[in-house]
């Protein structure tokens, strides 16, 4: 006799949380996400249906397979995944779990989803993200993006958070969380400097110049010595 868990019939779709990298199509007309684990090679949209990444013909989520979308119940648990180096630039997604799903202790594996909200962390410089810029990697036909500020993203392909939401469609909301205002992130270089700060900067520049001149002199002496021996 095989024991089965009771079937759930929720009155509204359950909510889950996950992380994913934002992506932008090469022609700049579409936006979506790519996962950080199983199925990460297949970008998906705001409203998406899962397929078996192993090419099997069953419909996700099959009990004897790992296919389907994955998410966790707890927002803090999903956000904690962004502490690892490879996931620092991922967005935190709040999703509606749609269709058939399997409930686990920490989350769901399910057939369909709708991404309701995407939250971007701060820019690498510490400023609150104002846009999503080319992260330097991607998938075929898609550029991966990373949260950034206007200064750090200068010269790179980028879209504002509002523009990304518009391109993704389906009522997606994108917001920034954490970081400090861009002017504050610049530190002393972005603020008006007083006499003490300017004196300190000048002393540092002079020390660097002295070191540079000593290195040039040492290289010059070495070159002269080699010529004399010849």
- pTM for this structure? 0.77
How do the domains of the chain map onto residue ranges? 15-185, 192-229
Q: What pLDDT, on the 0 to 100 scale, is given for residue 182?
A: 67
- Give the pLDDT score at 230: 47
Residues counted in the chain: 230
The pLDDT tens digits along the chain (230 residues) read 455 667 888 889 999 999 999 999 999 999 999 999 888 889 999 999 999 988 888 999 998 998 999 999 999 999 999 999 999 999 999 999 999 999 999 999 999 999 999 999 999 999 999 999 999 999 999 999 999 999 899 889 999 999 999 999 999 999 999 888 866 655 554 455 566 656 666 776 777 787 778 778 877 776 655 455 44
Cα atoms found within 13 Å of the Cα of residue 139, Cβ hemisphere only: 18
* Nearest residue to 138 via CA among 45, 220, 32, 216: 32
> Quick one: CA torsion of 87, 93, 96, 102, rounded to 10 degrees?
20
Element (H, E) at 70: strand 69-72
């Amino acid at each position: 006799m095989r024991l089965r868990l009771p079937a759930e019939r929720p009155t509204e779709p359950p909510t889950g949380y996950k992380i994913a990298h934002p992506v932008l199509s090469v022609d700049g007309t579409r936006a979506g996400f790519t996962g950080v684990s199983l199925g990460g090679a297949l970008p998906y949209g705001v409203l998406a249906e899962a397929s078996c990444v192993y090419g099997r013909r069953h419909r996700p989520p099959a009990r004897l397979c790992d296919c389907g979308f994955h998410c966790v119940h707890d927002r803090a648990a999903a956000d904690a995944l962004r502490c690892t180096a490879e996931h620092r630039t991922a967005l935190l997604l709040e999703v509606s779990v749609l269709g058939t799903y399997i409930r686990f202790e920490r989350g769901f594996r399910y057939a369909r989803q709708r991404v309701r909200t995407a939250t971007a962390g701060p820019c690498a410089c510490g400023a609150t993200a104002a846009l999503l810029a080319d992260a330097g990697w991607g998938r075929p036909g898609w550029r991966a993006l990373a949260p950034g500020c206007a200064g750090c993203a200068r010269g790179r392909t980028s879209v504002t958070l509002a523009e990304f939401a518009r391109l993704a469609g389906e009522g997606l909301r994108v917001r920034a969380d954490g970081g400090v205002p861009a002017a504050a992130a610049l530190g002393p270089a972005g603020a008006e400097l007083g006499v003490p700060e300017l004196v300190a900067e000048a002393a540092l520049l002079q020390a660097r110049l002295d070191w540079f001149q000593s290195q040039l002199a040492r290289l010059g002496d070495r070159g002269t010595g080699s010529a004399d021996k010849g």
